Amino acid sequence: MTHISERESELPDTIFLQLQELAAEHKDIISLSIGEPDFKTPKPILDAAKKFMVNGTHYSPAAGRTDLRQAIAQKLRKENKISADWENVIVTAGSQQGLMAALLATVDPTEEVVMTSPGYLGYLPTVELANGVPVFVRLNENDGWQINPDEIKKKITKKTVAIIVNTPANPTGTVLRKKILEEISDIAIQNNIYIFSDEAYEKIIYGGAKHISIGSLNGMDEHVVTFNTFSKTYAMCGFRLGYMQGPKEFVNAVSKVHHFMEICAPHTSQLAGLAALKLPNKYVNTMVREYDRRRKLIIKRLNEISLKTVNPEGTFYALADISEFSNSSVKFAKDLIKKARVACVPGTEFGPYGEGLVRFSYANDYDMIKKAMDRIGKALRRGP
């Protein structure tokens, strides 16, 4: 017998998972699709996790271990300039779960959440699972994929609960400018709505770009919920560890949802997270330097083969314009697998305004990226 909820049936069929499976099955395919660091988790973190695995763990308090929440609050105060109190921090199973809990706690059926497209593919289904309505703001390549706050204004209605802001942004690689964050803050204050600020890639930035947490801006304490994760900064995707910080009333409400969703974030991972927050900067800096080397390579090569790409200032993604070759990003991505044995993600995965684009991840070995670009150049009959 099968009975599937309407909620589940209406979730989009993501082609991303199919591509991932295909790339895993066929070893000759170079996967530039996955959004996961290719680096090993730094050793001090693994050592900490090992030690705690041997000793065993139990449930932690629902919102997370107090020492971890305190360490996170301290990090947010020091690095992000957010006036965070440890009691307003909830430790989650990755930021994806944090986002789900936050939306379940704040969005009633038919209420709206504003987000950008192209934007992270997890937002739309998460809002829909909460029976909310995703409302999209179109990003423009000519603006360097920065958000135009006037476009946000046009989308605000009486039903808007929150605006999701993602900086540095997946899949565009954009680091949002302070002025734009200030304008978005004004919109949130004027309309009395939340800003959900997803800062998963905060440390993966290049060339002097500066990451600014919108929660650090004047008067935003009551409006901003900051989501973060250990997945990208510390190459800890499999640990499933993240956190959110926000206004007291919000945190109290989300705590209940969070408790019934997962009781607590994985406790061993929380202990590993404590070790991660104590890690000297050199570990992260080494990874970012290598991403930067690959970024320079991939952007140069993509542009040479007429896959026009705005230079990303953050993340490990390059969003390429395929309009010279195809008007369907799904077909382009499928053909690329067949003809070049390279996997990328079609832009249609990133919301209604992603057609005509594909995303390449450079969380892959430098020489593999080189090889992938050679193959793509050959398949498209373009080269340096």
Ligand X SMILES: Cc1ncc(COP(=O)(O)O)c(C=O)c1O
Q: Which residues bind ligand X (CB under 6 A)?
A: 35, 94-96, 120, 122, 166, 170, 198, 200, 229, 231, 237, 242
Q: How far is the CB of 36 from ligand X (least distance, A)?
A: 7
Q: How far is the CB of 94 from ligand X (least distance, A)?
A: 3
Which of 346, 310, 305 lies closest to 328, judged by CA? Answer: 346
Q: How far is the CB of 148 from ligand X (least distance, A)?
A: 20
Q: How far is the CB of 190 from ligand X (least distance, A)?
A: 26
Q: Of 227 and 325, which has the nearer Cβ to ligand X?
A: 227
Q: How far is the CB of 168 from ligand X (least distance, A)?
A: 9
Q: How far is the CB of 98 from ligand X (least distance, A)?
A: 8
Dist CA 27 CA 23 (whole Å): 7
Which of 302, 304, 296 lies closest to 358, judged by CA? Answer: 302
Q: Of 44 and 122, which has the nearer Cβ to ligand X?
A: 122
Q: Of 283 and 350, which has the nearer Cβ to ligand X?
A: 350
Contact 257, 41 (CB under 8 A): no
Mind giving me the DSSP string for 184-221?
Answer: HHHHHHHHT-EEEEE-TTTT-B-TT-----GGGSTT-T
Ranked by CB distance to ligand X, the top (closest) residue is 94
Q: Of 189 and 277, which has the nearer Cβ to ligand X?
A: 277
Contact 362, 317 (CB under 8 A): yes
Q: Of 111 and 199, which has the nearer Cβ to ligand X?
A: 199
- Helical H runs in 1-42? 6-9, 15-25
Q: Of 237 and 330, which has the nearer Cβ to ligand X?
A: 237
Peptide bond into 168 cis (omega under 30): yes
Contact 30, 342 (CB under 8 A): yes
Dist CA 234 CA 203 (whole Å): 10
Instruction: Dig out the tokens for 273 from the structure.
Output: 């997270």
Dist CA 126 CA 140 (whole Å): 24
